[in-house]
């Protein structure tokens, strides 16, 4: 007996539907970048309706964050940074950032993402995805002038900090107390956020 055309819409009771969508999304984000990936393309690759992708994940930004496969939503972690306004935002940002990275239950997953993003095949995930979805909106929410320039400058410091402190374990940065890291980095980050730019 031949099967008819594939049914569209929800796969009732299929426990692997969500996983199939995430697999498709990860693959497309890695190869097409964030801007080149559409909900429709993810749905087609997963063999489901676009409405089902929205049902499980909401917006494209939400799908991207879910596809990162980390145990925290970085947008929620950064919410208190925005709530406090631009003054002192660098210190709050670093405290939030370090509290997540220094959590032994979370760090292994973050290290996997960090190492993956350094690979040539998935570098677009950071530049074309993480920056505009997570870091960029922070500058807009803080009402900064020229956030399109300021937030990549902030990201440059943060990526360097991740690489040296957590991935390569370069001393003395790797074992530096949180307070010292914040005191060292916050003035530079605050200048990037609110100081004069060339």
Nearest CA to 167 among 119, 112, 126?
112
- Residues 115-138 pLDDT 10s: 777 776 666 666 667 777 778 889
Transcribe 18-55 into DSSP letters.
Answer: HHHHHHHHHHHHHHHTTTT--HHHHHHHHTS-HHHHHH
Return d(Cα 154, Cα 132) in angstroms, integer.
13
Return d(Cα 175, Cα 30) in angstroms, integer.
33
- Residues 59-104 pLDDT 10s: 888 888 788 777 778 788 888 899 999 999 999 999 999 999 999 9
User: What's the mean pLDDT when you consider all of the chain?
Assistant: 84
Query: So where are the chain's domains?
Result: 17-67, 74-194
Residues in CB range of 135: below 8 A, 6 or more apart: 151, 152, 154, 155
Whether domain 74-194 has CATH 1.10.357.10: the reply is: yes
Q: At residue 182, does pLDDT exceed 80?
A: yes
Label residue 14 by pLDDT band (50, 70, 90).
Answer: low
Q: At residue 20, does pLDDT exceed 70?
A: yes
Return d(Cα 153, Cα 145) in angstroms, integer.
13
Q: What confidence score (pLDDT) does residue 123 get?
A: 66
Cite the DSSP H helix spans in the chain: 17-32, 39-46, 50-57, 60-67, 74-83, 89-101, 107-118, 123-124, 136-141, 147-161, 178-194
Helix (H) or strand (E) holding 88: none
Whether domain 17-67 has CATH 1.10.10.60: the reply is: yes
Q: What is the mean pLDDT of residues 150-163?
A: 92
Tokens at residue 175, please? Answer: 């074992």
Q: At residue 35, does pLDDT exceed 80?
A: no
174 contacts 105 by C-beta, under 8 angstroms? no
* pLDDT > 70 fraction of the chain, expressed in percent and rounded: 87
């Amino acid at each position: 007996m031949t099967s008819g055309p594939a049914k569209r819409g929800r796969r009732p009771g299929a426990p692997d539907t969500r996983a199939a969508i995430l697999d498709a999304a990860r693959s497309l984000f890695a190869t097409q970048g964030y801007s080149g990936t559409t909900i429709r393309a993810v749905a087609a690759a997963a063999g489901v309706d676009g409405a089902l992708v929205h049902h499980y994940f909401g917006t494209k930004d939400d799908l991207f964050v879910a596809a990162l496969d980390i145990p925290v939503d970085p947008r929620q972690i950064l919410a208190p940074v925005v709530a406090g306004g631009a003054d002192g935002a660098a210190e709050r940002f670093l405290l939030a950032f370090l509290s997540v990275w220094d959590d032994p239950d979370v760090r292994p997953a973050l290290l996997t993402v960090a190492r993956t993003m350094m690979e040539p095949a998935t570098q677009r995930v950071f530049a074309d995805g993480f920056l505009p979805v997570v870091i960029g909106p922070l500058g807009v929410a803080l009402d900064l002038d020229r956030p399109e320039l300021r937030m990549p400058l902030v990201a440059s410091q943060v990526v360097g900090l991740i690489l040296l402190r957590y991935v390569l374990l370069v001393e003395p940065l790797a074992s530096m107390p949180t307070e010292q890291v914040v005191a060292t980095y916050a003035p530079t980050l605050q200048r990037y956020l609110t100081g004069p730019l060339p």
